[in-house]
Structure 1
Amino acid sequence: MIFKKIYTLQPHIHQDFNANLEFLLKQINQAQKDSIILAPEVMLTGFAYQKMEEASEFSRIATEKILDATTNKTCIITMIEKNNQMFFNNLKVFHNNEVIHKQAKTKLFVLGDEHLHFKQGDIGECVPFMIDGIKCSALICFELRFPQMWDLVRDSDMVFVCAQWGGPRKEHFETLSRAMAILNQSYVITSNPKNLQMAKGSAIISPYGLVFKNDRKEVIELEVNLEEVSRVRKYIQVRGK
């Protein structure tokens, strides 16, 4: 059997960048060896539209600290970064003191003015990556709504979703996440903050669609059995048809 300990974070994101980073580093340090820690979208800074330069510089500093903290662990998070005078919402996978995967958000949320502050990412970056032999993919918040993005993660055993999903659309977030797990026959892990206006709903969802979540907690943790993926795909055969 292949087991993997998963932690999905559901913190209150503060205006104090350092407080957010301290919370993240604490969770990484306390996490079990060889585990995966998933954080909400731009957890370190929030969207910080009035402080984008400061946020991108903080992301640079935070990257070094997360690299140091991820010995024998994995952390998945998005952060504001600047490249060629443009800002991107970059998802980064830190694994054993390296960044093993990076992709920029390709579907910007117009209702939240993201298109006014970020450059759209290249969809070609949205490819699977391996964590300890497990085929994984990731989506960033609004991307969860697009069938085109679902096609890109279809063959992965685990799909990670970093989000800042608004409370009024909580049912959409939870329904889409569970539907993806059932359709893909994969684990889907979501991370969303618990700020007042946010949907919470951070969850670890099995390939059969069983949901493990708790909106009251800052950290949801579960050891998952990756053989469940092949078991569901074997007995409910929908692939290649």
Structure 2
Amino acid sequence: MISKRLYALQIKTRQDFEVNLAQIGDLIQKCPQDSIVLTPEVVFSGFAYQRMEEASDFSKKVTEYLLKISNDKSIITTMIEKNGNYFYNNLKVFHKGEVIHKQAKHKLFLLGEEHLHFQAGNIEEITPFFIDGIQCGALNCFELRFIDLWKRICGAEIIFVPAQWGKARKDHYETLTKALAIANQAFVVASDSANDQMAKGSAIITPYGLVYKDDGREIVSLEADLNEVNKMRKYIHIGLELKNV
């Protein structure tokens, strides 16, 4: 069996960046060797619109720390980073002590005024990446609503969706992440904030659409049998690429 232990964190982001880093680091280090861990969107700082320079500087410390603790596991998160005169919401994949993939959030959430504080990322950055030979893809929060972005990661075996998704649209998040798994016949790992106004709904969803979630937990996990991807793509053939196993 080709398997991966998948983890979706479901935690609150506080005003104190150092407290966030300590809490998240502790949870990640509790996850076993060779696992893949997804955090909520901008979990180390929150959107921190009044502290963007500070958040960007802190992201350098976060990056150094995650490079160290990703020697024996993979970590996917997003953080505020400045490039030139602009701030970006960067999704980064840490694996074996390196950043193996980065994509800046392309679709900014107008209701949250993200467009007033962030520069939109280049759509070309939204591409598949590989973790231990497993084809993966990621959509950052609001990007989940755009089918044209689904197409950019079509074929991925695991899709990651970090979010700060509002409670008022909880059903949207849960419905769209489940649809993403079914439409792509892939595992979806969804990690949303547990802050009071957020939806929670963190989950791991199988290629068949089975949902593993618990809004009362800080960590949702599943030992994922990746052979299920090929089995589903053979069972109901819709043209997605099958891997040679």
Same fold (TM over 0.5): yes
The residue number in structure 1 matching 2:26 is 26
User: Share of identical aligned residues, percent?
Assistant: 55
Gaps of 5+ in 2: 241-245
| CA–CA distance in structure 1, aligned partners of residues 155 and 222 of structure 2 | 22
The residue number in structure 1 matching 2:236 is 236
Q: Deviations over 1:33-56 (max 9, x none)?
A: 110000000000000000000000
| CA–CA distance in structure 1, aligned partners of residues 53 and 84 of structure 2 | 13
CA contact (8 A) 1:28 1:70 kept: no
Letter in 2 for 1:48: A
TM-score, normalised via structure 2 length: 0.97
| CA–CA distance in structure 2, aligned partners of residues 27 and 153 of structure 1 | 28
| CA–CA distance in structure 1, aligned partners of residues 159 and 22 of structure 2 | 26
| CA–CA distance in structure 1, aligned partners of residues 175 and 129 of structure 2 | 25
Gaps of 5+ in 1: none
Letter in 1 for 2:133: G
The residue number in structure 1 matching 2:58 is 58
| CA–CA distance in structure 2, aligned partners of residues 38 and 149 of structure 1 | 19
| CA–CA distance in structure 1, aligned partners of residues 9 and 232 of structure 2 | 27
Within the alignment, does 1:39 sit opposite 2:39 as a pair? yes
| CA–CA distance in structure 1, aligned partners of residues 164 and 115 of structure 2 | 16
Within the alignment, does 1:200 sit opposite 2:200 as a pair? yes
Letter in 1 for 2:117: H
| CA–CA distance in structure 2, aligned partners of residues 77 and 83 of structure 1 | 18
SS in 2 for 1:64: helix
The residue number in structure 2 matching 1:136 is 136
The residue number in structure 2 matching 1:79 is 79
| CA–CA distance in structure 2, aligned partners of residues 150 and 7 of structure 1 | 22
| CA–CA distance in structure 1, aligned partners of residues 225 and 22 of structure 2 | 30
* 1:109-188 equivalent positions in 2, closer than 5 A: 109-188=109-188
The residue number in structure 1 matching 2:104 is 104
CA contact (8 A) 1:6 1:36 kept: yes
The residue number in structure 1 matching 2:243 is none
Q: CA deviation at 1:118?
A: 0.1
SS in 2 for 1:137: strand
Letter in 1 for 2:10: Q
Q: CA deviation at 1:25?
A: 1.0
Within the alignment, does 1:225 sit opposite 2:225 as a pair? yes
| CA–CA distance in structure 2, aligned partners of residues 120 and 12 of structure 1 | 25
Q: How many residues align?
A: 240
| CA–CA distance in structure 2, aligned partners of residues 30 and 194 of structure 1 | 19
| CA–CA distance in structure 2, aligned partners of residues 131 and 20 of structure 1 | 26
Within the alignment, does 1:213 sit opposite 2:213 as a pair? yes
Within the alignment, does 1:15 sit opposite 2:23 as a pair? no
SS in 1 for 2:223: strand
